[in-house]
Amino acid sequence: MNVSILLGPPGAGKGTVSNVFVAKGYSHISTGELLRGQIQLKTPLGLEAKASLDAGKFVSDTIVINMIRDLFEHAKQGDRFLLDGFPRNLEQAKELDAILKDSNATLDTVTLLDCPAEVIVERLSGRRTCSECGTVYHLSYNPSAKGLLCEADDAPLTQRADDLPETVTKRLDIYVSQTAPLIDYYQSQDLVRHVDASLSINEVRDAVLQTLEG
């Protein structure tokens, strides 16, 4: 089994570039998407996680670590996973090391999407998501051809509760204090590939592809 990690602040474009990895055979695992799925289904886990997500805070390490452990327990040899949104702090990174060791899996690369805070605020304030299929748009940079309806299924586009300006600021602060230290953690293992994520969507996707093929 092989694993890559997508690291970067909220709104840097992790979900947007994930299809580059998918085209290379990786399964895209976004802990944020998994949690939003549980919330939509109103499962006990979803009900527990909702307040944290809406407020822009992390859910407990135990919840996300169990989700990732479960994924690896059901994986097959030869599977490739792109982890988006996990790990998010040093405790989760160390737990991932243990999971990889137990599963005989290799961590290939950590792709870091570098993006300044002012760009992020603009991206998140303009993000709209299909209420049915979850396709992500941006009002200016990646608009739906059908206005405020999804191109794929005509469902209305909605704004995530955690994309309100005051919540975005809190998420960015938490990224700096809890997630950014992972850059040094993985840099010391020579795994980090930097990508300038402030460029256009196509330019960022091309740059990510180069890091995978280079």
Active site residues: 14, 88, 127, 160, 171
Q: Using alpha carbons, select from 26, 51, 23, 46 the residue that is nearest to residue 35.
A: 46
Question: Which residue has its beta carbon closest to ligand AP5?
Answer: 32
Give the per-residue contact string, 98-137, with ligand AP5 (x = CB under 6 A; - = no).
-------------------------x--xx--------xx
Asked if 90 interacts with ligand AP5 (CB under 6 A), we say no
Q: Which is nearer to ligand AP5, 59 or 112 (CB)?
A: 59
What does the DSSP 8-state code read for residue 155? P
Chain centre to alpha carbon of residue 156: 23
Output 194-199 pairs: Cβ under 8 A, ≥24 positions apart.
194/112, 194/114, 195/111, 195/112, 195/113, 195/114, 196/114, 197/8, 197/12, 197/13, 197/17, 197/113, 197/114, 197/115, 198/114, 198/115, 198/116, 198/119
Asked if 93 interacts with ligand AP5 (CB under 6 A), we say no
Give the per-residue contact string, 25-64, with ligand AP5 (x = CB under 6 A; - = no).
-----xxx--x----------------xx--xxxx----x
Asked if 180 interacts with ligand AP5 (CB under 6 A), we say no
Q: Rounded distance, CA 129 to CA 30, Å?
A: 15
Sites of contact with ligand AP5 (CB under 6 A): 8, 10-16, 30-32, 35, 52-53, 56-59, 64, 85-86, 88, 92, 123, 126-127, 136-138, 141-142, 162, 171, 197, 199-201, 204
